[in-house]
Structure 1
């Protein structure tokens, strides 16, 4: 029997919560990976054994963490990290690489940050379910994308509920309603010429107050969220369609191709044309970065 399972998720059309690659491995003594920086969030759960994580914090300083069975660790996008198995008791772990517009909120609720990347459980039964969901995904790559995304949602639920660093939900129920209204308005109107004032007006709120509660809840300003949503949709269209760059810009609210290309490059670091050439859809499986 192989000591590793590794799969690449074949579908990137999921905006709120998406899966990229996932797997399981029984590592050899001192097996290491890195230094490396991911493009998405990567979570490992240690089933048995132990190992070491070295990762940069929010100030760019490298910290070392010793992690054992029943614990886990989260790697953030662009965070430089190296992790290695113990010499005498090498770890067995399962991992998921994921991202999406709703992920930051869930991870903040779990209390997992660049400065606090280690997962400790406050409920053994919930952490067991967390492990089971991760292993289910790792062992069922033949299931449909919707099926696997459903289990990814369950994983996030167990992660947020079982983390000992869990933060309590904010109490403002009315504010939560406004945020849902605002994000729904953006999702339905991102292709139109809308502004932050339009979103605030839809919610019947003063712009400055709306901006504050939105940033507090989502971690981005309304304008940043709108741009992020548009660019995510643009990337989908670049990957999945043969539309021209100009038509895609129009489809996500940028009548000017120049303005669209500038916004896209600011988000992804390369032009829409370059991104399309590098991200053509692969069928089923392919090469990728393992856990």
Structure 2
């Protein structure tokens, strides 16, 4: 169901909040457009989802991560979950923009292919005279009362257009598509190994079903995903045992094991000794570590 935010001037802004959460690949959270007043400001604020703005006309500025970006007609900007940002309309030529807030398994993948991220938030088109991204976004707003399935389809087209037209897009040849999926898997493992992580979650984050994911992972790394995740976690644990003063149970929870006994068995499976035995023979005193860091 779509909830419309009422406004007295239909020519000033339109704003809809999507109240359905039906699709795991792409979920539209809210969308709209606005003709901003001079110096209109939003933020500082943090979003829980991805938020993409496209500038239909006018100018403004985005401030995020210590950087200030001056933006104008035909450009866009991305805000990522957890990113602090502020943006301001120009005092003389305030911007008119449209936006879509979204999340889902396909969201991050598509933005990665477009070359957009928290570190690279600015969208520039390969063809500034072609406003297909703008048209896709306005179509979502215009068809806000349609079914959730149709809106999700329009959202997919919107993401595809961002990838297709972005100047910073990553060219992925068919032969390297597997490498892209594997990079996605490794990035997800690196960012989530400390949690209760399953192979199904990693496969989902990579955009693949578990069976196919496990097969190409094994072919690429000569290890099953289960064994790779185990070794990755135990290598992280070994670093903590060697260089930190953390208790064994704290090391265990730091690499995704709430049960210390299970952690000790897994560690011995990889290193042939218990965590305490490993620390006894490999631990580096904090004073030594500090001297190394001070060099």
For the superposition of Structure 1 and Structure 2, which TM-score range results when normalised by the shorter chain? 0.5 to 0.7
> Which residue of 1 is the match for residue 132 of structure 2?
129
SS at match of 2:218: coil
| Cα distance change on mapping 1:175 and 1:31 into 2, 3 Å | same
Q: TM-score, normalised by structure 2?
A: 0.60
Q: Given the superposition, is the C-alpha separation of residues 205 and 165 from structure 1 closer, same or farther in structure 2, using an over 3 Å criterion?
A: same
2:169 maps to 166
Higher relative contact order (CA 8 A, sep 6+): 1
* Paired position in structure 2 for 1:45: 54
Tell me the residue number matched to 2:151.
148
Output the CA distance in 1 between the equivalents of 2:138 and 2:63: 25
Q: Secondary structure at the match of 1:165?
A: coil
Match of 1:138 in 2: 141
Checking the alignment, whether the CA contact within 8 Å between 1:186 and 1:199 is kept in structure 2 is no
State how far apart, in whole Å, the 2-side matches of 1:70 and 1:178 are: 31
State whether residues 214 and 224 of structure 2, in contact with CA within 8 Å, keep that contact through their aligned partners in structure 1.
no
Deviation at 1:108, TM superposition (A): 1.1
Maintained 8 Å contact 1:200/1:207: no
Quickly say closer, same or farther: Cα 1:207–1:74, change in 2 above 3 A: same
Distance 1:101 1:44 in 2: 20
Q: For 2:177 and 2:126, how far apart are their aligned partners in 1?
A: 30
After superposition, residues 165-244 of structure 1 pair within 5 angstroms as 165-172=168-175, 175=178, 186=200, 202-203=215-216, 205=218, 208-209=221-222
- Whether 2:108 is the aligned partner of 1:104: answer yes
How far 1:84 sits from its partner (Å)?
Answer: 0.7
Question: CA, structure 1 residues 173+210, in 2 after alignment: closer, same or farther (shift >3 Å)?
Answer: farther
Quickly say closer, same or farther: Cα 1:211–1:97, change in 2 above 3 A: farther
CA distance in 2, matches of 1:133, 1:112: 18
- Pair 1:66-2:45 in alignment: no
Asked if 2 retains the 8 angstrom alpha-carbon contact of 1:200 and 1:206, the reply is: no
Structure 1 contact 178–203 (Cα < 8 Å) conserved: no
Shift of 1:176: 6.4
CA contact (8 A) 2:30 2:102 kept: yes
Q: Deviations over 1:38-94 (max 9, x none)?
A: 0000000000000000012xxxxx110000001010001000000010000000000
Give the Cα separation in 1 of the matches to 2:45 and 2:24. 25
Equivalence for 1:35: 44
Of the candidates 28, 43, 63, which is equivalent to residue 19 of structure 1? 28
> How many Å separate the matches in 2 of 1:23 and 1:6?
4
How big is the shift at 1:138? 1.3
Q: Which has the larger radius of gyration?
A: 2
Structure 2 distance, partners of 1:135, 1:209, is 47
RMSD: 3.5
Alignment length, in residue pairs?
Answer: 202
SS of equivalent to 1:106: helix
For the 8 Å contact 1:19–1:96, the answer to whether it is kept is yes
User: Does 2:129 correspond to 1:116?
Assistant: no
The 10-residue stretch of structure 1 (29-38 or 133-142) with the greater mean CA deviation from structure 2: 133-142
SS in 2 for 1:167: coil
